[in-house]
Structure 1
Amino acid sequence: MRRSERYRVLKLKGLSASQIKKTFNEPTQMSVFSWKGDIDTILTPWDSLRYYKFYLRAGLMSMEPQTGFVRAYVGGINFKHFQYDMVKGGKRQVGSTFKPFLYTLAMQEGYSPCYEVPDIPVTFELPDGNSWTPRNSGKTKKDGQLVTLKWALANSINFISAWLMKRYNPYAVINIVRKMGVRSKIDAVPAICLGTPELSVAEMTAAFSTFSNRGIYTQPIFVTKITDKNGNVLANFKPTRTEAISEETAYLMIELLRGVVAFGTSWRVKGVYKVEGDIAAKTGTTQNQSDGWYMGLTPHLMTGVWVGGEDRAIHFSTLEYGQGASLALPIWAYYMNKVHEDKTLNYLIKDVFEKPKNIKVNVDCSKDDEKNVNPDIIEGVDL
């Protein structure tokens, strides 16, 4: 109630807390949002707040990694009724979409996509004397076996993220993330390996763009120039670029994220939604299925999507519907299919991520990785 616009207006008018509460319980005529159009009805303000809690919110940002130009920006589902910007203003736990940053550090430090790690629990000894052992969100066909890093990221295996974190430290991961443009506060704790940081869609989209821009972070740019009514240029704006990671690391990450689409948690983008072209992506789900994320790269367009409730207390009861692959992935897929249909945009299906000439690392990891596509696979954060 206290966060509503109605409450703020009444407070400014000098009403006391008890008077405002009474007003919120009085039926009044209002227009409320519905997917079929606004509905004129009579509700108490309290009931209208409850009504809006049933609607999931969403945010989408799409940018060109090479230029930084933001091509699409959707801050919410309806500006008239939901004016809070969920792209730059809203920050939520990012879930497994944070894991690629940890893998980026590993690739930068000499690991390869085909390096094998045992899929077993890892325990952290905490400063307070307690211990913490992350769990996988479900059983896989390879529990207890050696798995490649490529397969582990594709299937969002928490044990392997914990294994990597054990070999480095939170500060090293945060340093990589900072180089890739993320400025939000991140606590230096082991749990970040499973996606506990609260970041914005804008930050995540720009950071992921680094992978398809040969390791160069390009700051998103919304306006290229400002002119007056006579056409005189008042200001020009150019994107700011900085080298965040090596070109080799960036390409290895593209290969890892291609695996997510080929035989991992993002299989539906091609298997169900029939999005064509070269795609690298990562799904993300937060604890209690409160937030669903999808970060999808094509050679010349990076698009990030978040879906969730107004509050984190609003969540799905199961991963079947509450995971990023069910919530955010479909939005990305519908969007990209529309982009590809519009030939004037010149984002071509035939475009591919170019492999740098000096790359000698083997990325064709396993004879059976790509045969183990599991349509029922789920992923998420299980802290």
Structure 2
Amino acid sequence: MNRALGLGFLAFLVSIPFWIGDQYLLHILINAGIFVIGAMSLNLLLGYTGQLSLGHVAFFGIGAYTSALLSLGFDVTTFWGGELVVGPQPVWLSFLAGIVLAGLAGWFIGRISFKVRGAYFVIITISFAEVTKLVALNWVDLTEGPMALISIPPFSVSIPGIWEATFYGKTPNYYIMLAIGVVSYIVIKRLVNSRLGRAMVALRENEPLAMSVGIDVTRYLVLAAVVSAAIAGAAGGLYTHYVRIVDPDVFLFIYTVTMVIMVITGGKGTLAGPIVGGIIFGVLPEILREFMGPEAQWVTYGAVMIAIVMFLPEGIVPALTRFWERRKESRDASDRMITGRAASSATETPSE
């Protein structure tokens, strides 16, 4: 049932560009999809290991800047006085490099951060995000600082000397976003359903007990951080090649807050939760824009979020799952009762 529902939902997503004629709506869906990918990556940490990272946007920005810089090429003076010159690289290679560098940053932060827990871990992640923002803002020779990197090439695929395709326009970028989202979902699903994922959940539920049965806390938490950061880096690379401009605002704290909202309201620790929360809170601001002013938009946005947290404290997906299970149990019990009565009636002896 779940598999059929998932395939049906995927088929619906694939069909969207065929019946949505408004390119602006497609643009909204692409932006929402990018943040859904970021929310899925954050859910791996927050939902399955119980570690709240409020600096997750740093990995998003690292992926964005790495992919942009390598695809454009750069010339920068190194710290030891030499000059590093890198020519423009293929977009697909730059994109993969952004994923790898974001994953390495996740490994580094994981190694130094998972020695602490709780508020201390949150402070370290926020500090890391602020440091990356300051680097992007002040290393003008490399990043152009507040002037931004512009004219970033769009996604392209080529066979040198034979064939080349460049993905301009909303529809090709929508399908690229969808493909990256599906791959990210599969990676996360395979991980959390494996022995490694069960160990992560054990750490979330009861870390001392997990340690007592031999689970290496640092190893599994760092693994989650690396995969989470790499997927966030993929979202950042997707963003930068779609909008074709990137500046230090990509590290804004509000982006991390948005991802956290998507995870918590959708249902942390569930595969579908970030997708549902991401679609709702990615599209909702644009819907509200049609009916009310900016101030009323934020008030309504906050009211919807508070209502979900109050009435569905575990998130939308867990609430819907419990509702469906109760309906199924009630239907099964009713069927058993009817079957039992029918069997009882059939065995009764007619009275004279």
TM over 0.5: no
| Higher helix proportion | 2
Q: RCO (CA 8 Å, sep 6+): is it higher in 1 or 2?
A: 2
Tell me the TM-score normalised to structure 2 length: 0.29
Bigger radius of gyration: 2
| Higher strand proportion | 1
